[in-house]
Amino acid sequence: MSDYIEGLEWDGESTLPVSQMSDTSSTVAITSAKCLARCPFSDRGRSMQYVPQVEFLRRGELLARLGISRKTLYIWVRDGFFPKPIKRGAVQLWTEGDLAEWAQSARGSDE
């Protein structure tokens, strides 16, 4: 397929038929640099799109920060007082954002 591409002239703007793949007649198109310019992760003369970093807390870190027992945490989650964890296999994670929202709402309900 690359031999076919090297033999072609391309104006950099249009799409090109590249080749037929296996037994079926299928056209693969090479798109122009305009596609890269529209890509949110492209750095071709444009700033990169901001992707926020999410901080996760494991159960032990969360318990230490809140100063509560594991049983209390599970009661709070069961009763809807605390956000449910994100489960990744046997690991349970909470986001810093969820913790901050919970703390804000808990402070608001006390007032």
Per-residue model confidence as pLDDT tens digits over 48-107: 666 678 889 999 999 999 999 999 999 999 999 999 999 999 999 999 999 999 999 888
pLDDT at 111: 58
In a domain, 48, yes or no: no
Q: What is the pLDDT of residue 96?
A: 92
- How many domains does the chain fold into? 2
If asked whether residues 66 and 105 sit together in one domain, one would say yes
What are 30-35's contacts with CB under 8 Å, separation 24+? 30/5
Q: Which domain holds residue 32?
A: 2-38
Residues 30 and 69 in one domain: no
In a domain, 47, yes or no: no
The secondary structure of 30-91 as a DSSP string is E--HHHHHH-TT--SSSPPPP-----EEEHHHHHHHHT--HHHHHHHHHTTSSPPPEEETTE
Q: What is the signed CA dihedral for 29, 30, 31, 33, rounded to 10 degrees?
A: 180
pLDDT tens-place string over residues 6-58: 444 444 544 444 443 443 333 333 333 444 445 555 555 555 666 678 889 99
Answer whether residue 43 is part of any domain: no
**Domain contains 104:** yes
In a domain, 50, yes or no: no
6 is a domain residue: yes
Q: Tally the C-alpha atoms within 13 A of residue 107's C-alpha that lie toward its C-beta.
A: 6
Task: Give bridge partners of residue 58 from the DSSP assignment.
Answer: 93
